[in-house]
């Protein structure tokens, strides 16, 4: 621990597991106060309790990021418990994969309500605090789907492309107020969701080996590798970096044909 985030207060959505929990953990290890936010109350409280046992200054707020009223309440509660936030990590998201013509209005709305509206709801609620601070950071967890199209994944990449547009628009809008807005686009990362996909295959070991082989580095990523990038973006080391999307995929998206 080198306290790169000392005196910072962060809100991390989707923090009960996977990348969100890895980011929350890395932030407290670097000296930040962290409000973990998730729609899964049980897992969120368990994760928060585990961090608190390590001496971290944390709290948990259960909220659905797709509900703007719930988000306003969440930010108010987090502020009351830990102080006004100066870092927001928009990590909460869902996966909706459909054939385009089989995509229902409900499928479309659900995907965008969480993956895009959720990012805006949280950003809108936190931005006034950042403006009062006179500086701050918003970090949106997008996806390689935000820049590359993978067949059979509609409409998820549409929402993630929009997250990059939102990132860039907000970054430029508030750049002269010392508020930085950036995105991180993970590729294959060894989260519980990916592990469940492997486990559901007829031959899990074969699918895992094939997936590893897709990557120039010959493995998939780890949640803590995404968390390390988030720490950097939230630190004072990245003060001149804004409106950017950092792709973390082991080089996979650079490969044209394989």
State the CB neighbour count (10 A cutoff) for residue 253. 13
The partner residues of 182 in beta bridges, in order of sequence, read: 139
Q: How far apart are CA 232 and CA 27, in angstroms?
A: 10
Give the C-alpha separation, 153 to 42, whole Å. 29
Catalytic choice (154, 156, 174, 188): 156
List the beta bridge partners of residue 10: 34, 87
Q: How far is CA 183 from the centre of its chain?
A: 8
Distances in whole angstroms, Cα of residue 63 to Cα of each of 33, 67, 78? 19, 8, 11
Whether residue 188 lies in the annotated active site: no
- φ and ψ at residue 134, rounded to 5 degrees: 85, 5
3-state secondary structure at position 169: helix
181 beta partners: 138
> Which of 218, 93, 105, 104 lies closest to 160 in space, CA to CA?
93
Q: Point out the residues that are catalytic.
A: 156
């Amino acid at each position: 621990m080198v306290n790169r985030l000392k005196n910072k207060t962060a809100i991390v959505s989707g923090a009960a597991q996977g990348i969100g929990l890895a980011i929350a953990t890395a932030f407290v290890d670097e000296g930040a106060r962290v409000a973990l936010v998730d729609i899964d109350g049980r897992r969120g409280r368990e994760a928060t309790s585990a961090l608190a046992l390590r001496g971290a200054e944390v709290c948990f707020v259960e909220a659905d990021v797709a509900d703007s009223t719930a988000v306003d309440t969440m930010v108010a509660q987090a502020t009351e418990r830990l102080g006004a936030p100066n870092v927001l990590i928009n990590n909460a998201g869902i996966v909706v994969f459909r054939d385009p013509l089989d995509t229902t209005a409900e499928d479309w709305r659900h995907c965008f309500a969480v993956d895009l509206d959720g990012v805006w709801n949280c950003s809108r609620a936190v931005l006034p605090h950042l403006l009062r601070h006179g500086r701050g950071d918003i970090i949106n967890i997008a996806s390689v789907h935000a820049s590359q199209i993978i067949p059979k994944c509609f409409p998820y990449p549409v929402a993630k492309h929009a997250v990059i547009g939102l990132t860039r628009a907000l970054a430029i809008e508030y750049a002269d107020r010392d508020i930085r807005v950036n995105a991180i686009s993970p590729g294959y990362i060894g989260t519980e969701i990916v592990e469940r996909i492997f486990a559901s295959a007829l031959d899990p070991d074969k699918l895992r080996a094939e997936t590893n082989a897709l990557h120039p580095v010959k493995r998939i990523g780890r949640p803590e590798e995404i968390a390390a990038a988030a720490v950097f973006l939230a630190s004072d080391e990245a003060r001149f970096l804004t409106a950017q999307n950092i792709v973390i995929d082991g080089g996979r998206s650079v490969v044209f044909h394989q």
